[in-house]
Amino acid sequence: MTENQSSALEREARREVQAELRQELREESIVAGEKTLDAAVNTNDPEALYEELVRSIRKYHPSDDLSLIRRAFEIARDAHKDQKRKSGEPYIIHPVHVAIILANLELDKESIIAGILHDVVEDTAMTLEELQAIFGDEVALLVDGVTKLTQLSWSKDKMELQAENLRKMFLAMAKDIRVILIKLADRLHNMRTLEYMSGPKQNEKATETMDIYAPLADRLGISKIKIELDDLCLKYLEPLVYEELTENLNIRKEQREAFVETIVAEVKSHMDEAGIQAEVYGRVKHLFSIFRKMVNQGKTLDEIYDIFAIRILVDSVKDCYAALGIIHEMYKPIPGRFKDYIAMPKPNMYQSL
């Protein structure tokens, strides 16, 4: 490869990463705890939910033929027709919610179809062979992968069980990463609806989510899922803390928003003055990370300074360091708290200052 080609590739890769980051930031609500992947979905009528799914898919795949997705919805709806969720609602709303989460992650059609069908083989009379005949090998493989992750061996003790789960997870991941993404979406919707489960079950699910699923989402770089899982775990494992934090943070909401906006404007004008092309965003830490800080450092909410964060996106590494220079001129850095992830990327290749 010539040098030109490789730097063109690098530029392309960088553009992609930036586009992704921008997308993520756009979707990131300014108030912690309010950020969900499908905040707009507030219906549980199966048809209306299906329409919502179609809207989510159209956003990134406008020309796609959705007839197979419709077919999957009808088959799943009929197969689950005698089942109800713990909330009393028809079971089909669960797989459709899972598919909406997958569509919001902009996954391919096979993943979405498999998301709709993910509990059919496990929970209904339908067989994998029947699904394979209608939807093909790829969808069948995905459904089978998710089904196998769901089947636990109850004879073993807790530790063994968890080791077994992890082993299954790794195997599935090596085969097709989409299996894990569907499983994560499945877990996210189950965590969102955990209030309908019994106390011990809530504890068990939240602990497992914190031990396995949230770190997994983190490592895969799906921060939207990771953050929501974290906050939901906190809600069930530390309900009092959760309540206090949400209440406190809500009281100060307007004040915080105004503060963040002032800082964003200030930073933006300094970047403009220096001639650096930059996009500046403000965000607020999510509940779980505030809580972790309070516990780890023995602080009260008032003593935690970085409930806010400002993100600055620039086009080149050079601008990145230049922007940092400007920030350090504007605000005094705290010794020992600065990390250079450009020179030393994180394990998941995340780079920033």
CA dist list (Å): 131 to 32, 103, 109, 125, 206: 41, 21, 15, 11, 32
Within positions 169 to 198, which residues make up the interface with Mn ion, using CB under 5 A? 186
Closest approach of Cβ 186 to Mn ion, in Å?
A: 4
Q: Which residue, 110 or 119, is less far from Mn ion as judged by CB? A: 119
Closest approach of Cβ 285 to Mn ion, in Å?
A: 30
Closest approach of Cβ 120 to Mn ion, in Å?
A: 10
The answer to whether the beta carbons of residues 224 and 35 sit under 8 Å apart is yes
Cα(349)–Cα(185) distance, integer angstroms: 24
Cα(168)–Cα(298) distance, integer angstroms: 38
CA dist list (Å): 178 to 61, 66, 174, 253: 18, 19, 10, 37
Q: Which residue, 183 or 256, is less far from Mn ion as judged by CB? A: 183
Pick the closest to residue 106 from 51, 170, 24, 189 (CA basis): 24
The alpha carbon of 29 is separated from its chain's Cα centroid by a whole number of angstroms, namely: 13
Within positions 80 to 119, which residues make up the interface with Mn ion, using CB under 5 A? 119
CA-based end-to-end distance of the chain: 30
Angle, nearest 10°, between helix axes 128-150 and 109-117? 80
Contact mark string toward Mn ion, 6..45, x via CB under 5 A: ----------------------------------------
Marked catalytic residue, from 123, 204, 266, 315: 123
Closest approach of Cβ 188 to Mn ion, in Å?
A: 10
Dihedral, 140, 141, 146, 149 alpha carbons, nearest 10? 140
Marked catalytic residue, from 89, 122, 138, 266: 122
Q: Which residue, 144 or 186, is less far from Mn ion as judged by CB? A: 186
Closest approach of Cβ 190 to Mn ion, in Å?
A: 7
Q: Which residue, 205 or 256, is less far from Mn ion as judged by CB? A: 205
User: Any catalytic annotation for residue 122?
Assistant: yes
User: Any catalytic annotation for residue 137?
Assistant: no
Please give the size of the binding site for Mn ion, defined by CB under 5 A. 2
The answer to whether the beta carbons of residues 66 and 60 sit under 8 Å apart is no
Q: Which residue, 114 or 227, is less far from Mn ion as judged by CB? A: 114
The residue at minimum Cβ distance from Mn ion is 186
Q: Which parts of this chain interact with Mn ion (CB under 5 A)?
A: 119, 186
Residues marked as catalytic: 122-123
